[in-house]
Amino acid sequence: MVFITELFEIALKARNMAYAPYSNFKVGAALLTTDNQIYVGANVENVSFPCGTCAEQSAIAAMISGGGKTIKEIVIVAESKTLIAPCGACLQRISEFSDDKTVVHLANLDGVQKSYPLGALFPVAFKQGVLKKDD
């Protein structure tokens, strides 16, 4: 069983590996799949903005490359006075591999500060086949 403190520590280590020479804003992510595998990611900036990669996107790519399928929960950690939630594109990416109950934990360097079900952060995610001709 993976505890949230363990997932936070893993995300914090991933944050330390971030490549952020332009903004100096490092973000780490650690996700736990429904089969209890952990995958990590860090943001990777590029001088040709916006060609960088978000930490969440990086972790999801690692999950898919590693054979993972479904996100159970994810921790996102950044050094900030206000908590950093995933951007809209990353919320859409997370929703692709989860459901409304997937837990998104927002953390600063001191630990997880708030946790939300994905449905609360992204209540109207685009899902394939959701709209019908009658809608």
On the CB side of 85, how many CA atoms lie within 13 Å of its CA?
A: 14
**DSSP-derived 3-state class of residue 22:** coil
**DSSP-derived 3-state class of residue 34:** coil
Residue 112, phi then psi, degrees to nearest 5: -70, 130
Report the C-alpha gap between 15 and 42 in whole angstroms: 5
Nearest partner of 23 among 90, 103, 79, 104, judged by Cα: 79
Global model pTM greater than 0.75: yes
**What is the residue-level pLDDT of the chain in tens, covering all 135 positions?**
789 999 999 999 999 999 999 999 999 999 999 999 999 999 999 999 889 999 999 999 999 999 999 999 999 999 998 999 999 999 999 999 999 999 999 999 999 999 999 999 999 888 876 544 444
Q: Which helix (H) or strand (E) holds 74?
A: strand 71-78
Alpha-helical runs (H) found in 29-87: 55-65
Out of 3.40.50.720, 3.40.140.10, 3.40.50.2300, 3.40.50.150, the CATH code matching 4-121 is 3.40.140.10
pLDDT at 83: 93
Report the C-alpha gap between 107 and 127 in whole angstroms: 27
**Active-site residue set:** 56
pLDDT at 107: 98
Q: Are 18 and 42 in contact (CB under 8 A)?
A: yes
Q: Are 67 and 2 in contact (CB under 8 A)?
A: no
CA max distance for the chain:
49
Each domain of the chain, given as residue ranges in start order, spans 4-121
pLDDT at 133: 47
Do strands 71-78 and 27-33 pair parallel, antiparallel, or not at all (unpaired)? Answer: antiparallel
pLDDT at 29: 98
